[in-house]
Amino acid sequence: MITVIGAGKVGSAAAFDILRYKISDVILIDTNENAAKGEALDMMQAAPAIEFDGQIKGTSDFSEMQDSELVIVTAGLGRRADMTRFDLMNTNAQIVRGIVKEVAKYAPKCKLMMVTNPVDIMTYIAFKETGFPRCCLFGMGNILDTMRFRSYIANEIGVSREDTRALVIGEHGDSMVPLVEYASVSGIPISNLLTNEQLERIVHRTVTSGADVIQLKGSTIYAPGSVIAIMADAILTGRNRVMSVSTSLDGEYGASGLSIGVPVVLGKEGVEKIIELDLSEKTKEKFAKSVATVKEAIAALKN
């Protein structure tokens, strides 16, 4: 069983993708009970078309998440075009603190995935509030950035997105670090296929892509929804996917006392392993700046 907390646009899109890919039954929880029930009813009516025979239930009762293997938190204030992710921080921190206490109460053995922005800060808060093992608590973050990075690489070269592989590490925000040195197309380094000018343009578009969508339509929906489903599949099926997620570091990459995006093996136990990459000196400097950005935000949190 998967519980999605937050029946807004992203939470509902994620819940539907989880059903569509037949990953699990879903409990959709929202303080607006009618919204949760309405979304669940809408999805149930689509179930014959997507050939899903399981259960989708909407509720405002947090106790319904009992026995969930995975709990996904999407609830919180959405980001406006004139806001940075950190502008959301203190408002969403209050919301998240209340929610994760309910998770710890009713689903203490679950894997907890944070999606609420700024996701690195919310992941850190959840880790501190719940006392969950760090393997069991992680944020979506850079997997979404990586999908965007892959899309822009493929578009620039004119090849299939499926054949394009890449990673993004660091903050899920303006200081993210797209790893050009680890990006490839069917094993061919993209530095062999693109000019420095093209690479710089792709990196810039990756960093601004979320804000670009928000500027045009108000919110990102389909991309984060699909990424949440990919992560859910990796956990429930134990596929051990290599993904960059926001996780609490304890000396890895020379950092500790924060949650930030790094590549991990994501499987049945959550973060099965943190993968430490050999980074260039330039990339190390960029990642250090990203760490400093997140730590500065954590220091500014209101208790």
Looking at the fold, whether 45 and 176 belong to one and the same domain comes out as no
pLDDT digits (tens, 9 = 90+) for 189-207: 999 999 999 999 999 999 9
pLDDT of residue 276 exceeding 80? yes
pLDDT digits (tens, 9 = 90+) for 33-47: 999 999 999 999 999
Longest dimension (CA), the chain: 54
Q: For 211-235, what is the mean pLDDT?
A: 89
Half-sphere exposure of 286 (CA within 13 A, CB side): 19
CA-closest candidate to residue 18, choices 74, 64, 101, 79: 74
* C-alpha Rg value of the chain to the nearest Å: 19
Six-digit token string for 143: 């997997």
Of 90, 122, 139, the domain-final residue = 139
Six-digit token string for 65: 């998440």
Of 82, 104, 139, the domain-final residue = 139
Contact 157, 195 (CB under 8 A): no
pLDDT digits (tens, 9 = 90+) for 14-33: 999 999 999 999 999 999 99
Looking at the fold, whether 126 and 173 belong to one and the same domain comes out as no
* DSSP E strands, the chain: 2-5, 26-29, 56-59, 70-73, 111-114, 137-139, 164-165, 168-169, 177-178, 184-185, 188-189, 241-250, 256-267, 270-274
Helix axes 9-20, 33-50, angle to 10 degrees: 30
Contact 62, 29 (CB under 8 A): yes
pLDDT digits (tens, 9 = 90+) for 63-118: 999 999 999 999 988 766 666 656 788 889 999 999 999 999 999 999 999 999 99
pLDDT of residue 7 exceeding 80? yes
Looking at the fold, whether 132 and 150 belong to one and the same domain comes out as no
Six-digit token string for 25: 């039954």
CATH number of the structural domain spanning residue 11:
3.40.50.720
pLDDT at 211: 81
Looking at the fold, whether 82 and 104 belong to one and the same domain comes out as yes
Looking at the fold, whether 214 and 108 belong to one and the same domain comes out as no
Looking at the fold, whether 214 and 250 belong to one and the same domain comes out as yes
Q: Is residue 172 annotated as part of the catalytic site, yes or no?
A: yes
pLDDT at 253: 94
pLDDT of residue 165 exceeding 90? yes
The tally of domains found in the chain comes to: 2
Q: What is the DSSP letter of 41?
A: H
User: Given 57, 150, 172, 241, which residue is catalytic?
Assistant: 172
pLDDT of residue 164 exceeding 80? yes
Looking at the fold, whether 159 and 291 belong to one and the same domain comes out as yes
pLDDT at 303: 66
Residue with more model confidence, 97 or 215: 97
Looking at the fold, whether 241 and 127 belong to one and the same domain comes out as no
189: domain range? 142-299
Looking at the fold, whether 156 and 121 belong to one and the same domain comes out as no
Looking at the fold, whether 51 and 177 belong to one and the same domain comes out as no
